[in-house]
Structure 1
């Protein structure tokens, strides 16, 4: 015999005394007093007696509670547990509600091992942090579409093209990461946003460099013996990036070889890929002249703390009315190598710390051409200091 349903009217429920009241079909009202009551669905599934809360009364009305109980009975008839089914739905909803800012941080954490210095410099995450997350960070990734992305990056798409491109690429990685987490996302959203934004007008400009023929005159003008002058001299002589010079520590030098830690070398992600720099006699002289300024082992300390800033060297050149900047001396050196020497391409590129050849080729070729680069460095130093030993580097 079927159990009777809908035993009570709304008025009877409202006026019911404290206790447990069955409406039929497993729906019960547990009433503590006039102000506190809750709906409960009692059922048996897979041989287990269970109770599932359906909400507080009167926030959940009698009609709503009956609808919930009816849905529960339908699940039982289908062989499902209503409690487990509700938990599953909640998990799915939680997955759908993952915010972009959470996914972006998780994606960043999972990729730290691939990044130089475990991404501590912030260059991977900063395009997202500055240009994307302030607007879209609290949006569930499942709701992100190409229009959201277009509207967010449109203000910088042409004016800061390189930054916008990086932000778009990072966002694409985040979307793929979300999909790997099992979230429902539109993996084509970034590609469609690019189509909406159109081709970027901005063209990247190279950092101005001093023609190699003019480097000796500038080098010799750095004659004050100050930390700034000496740092610039060493930067020119070694053709490394300014960070390597600024963070030079005396324990990195052994004999005539300076080993630059991987974290100070752009693009060297492997923790073991430190970079050996051969030091010419002129470079060793500069280092000796700088030692009296050293503090806590740092050869070029800042005025108060830390190390000399990148802007210190740039500002010196700016005050002299020069368009060229410190980083440009790498180009000056490379042009001199190409035009004034017969140095093999791989040796010249390795001298700049560039990766040469594909992954397989590098796996078999372990040399960093240190001996050849030592001769090249000596010839370049002789040239810029006007004590040229030969007209062509012997490598």
Structure 2
């Protein structure tokens, strides 16, 4: 490539790009305006960075500025963000912190506040953080989201919303002229699989009041429903429960592998409230069956519709299975117990090593502590107050 000369720069009139070598270009616009840009590439990402108007910056100075830009890029310094800071425009990273600081006092849940900024710092700041918030465009956001769009779809959707909140804040502050072109970004991302339809669940804040109402009338269906809630078990596992599976002295319920969805034996530590419930079931025990919750037909278990009817009679538009979601939300939002512990309590499929650990010894006792506090929360308040619970 032939290098430019001062004379050729002055003589050039045709719109286009004229290379000088080492990434420096003279750019002539459609209206004849001339400017300098330097093309740089770092970590597989190519960018054009403007370094001044050709009418004010001579060729020699343009080469010097281009060299400075390349040197800064190699040292990990973003010249555009550096200039933006000097002009009072924050980087995306600084904008994230500013938006968080402004909104955090209005967020009632400290965990949500922490999750909001952690999501951005984990998935957006590493790629967008050093950019001026004015220069974060649709292409950059699309690439940022694409990295986790299929692998972590729910997290990616939250990240999209939170990045957009930061950019909208920048528009409102006058740091940039336009919001993100979200429709363009969405169309440029691969299609995510349809979300799984979840069972209707009761918000955990309403559960103590619900439990009080549930206990107002005693029936086989209501007792089975209470057992399902206190143990966070599937309704089918509760309906087929047998007395031989219960050890009320040890406060455990051992569900055999053939009745478990994952095909593994599952030990459920029973809270004092659950033990008291089963002790209270003794008068209902039938001589002809080992079922804890027998149905109306001799030797048959309680039907799933019996639990559904109990909920309908109470005027609650949720499902029995949905109380497992209620439990999971409560653990995630109101306690500090690890997610693996909650997944083990729900008998969800996790690694064999994790399952084995949580079925015995000290880990089983940790599950017992969790279920004891869960049961206390369920029955401990008739007015629906939310208790902030922290695992020791």
TM-score (norm 2): 0.45
TM-score (norm 1): 0.45
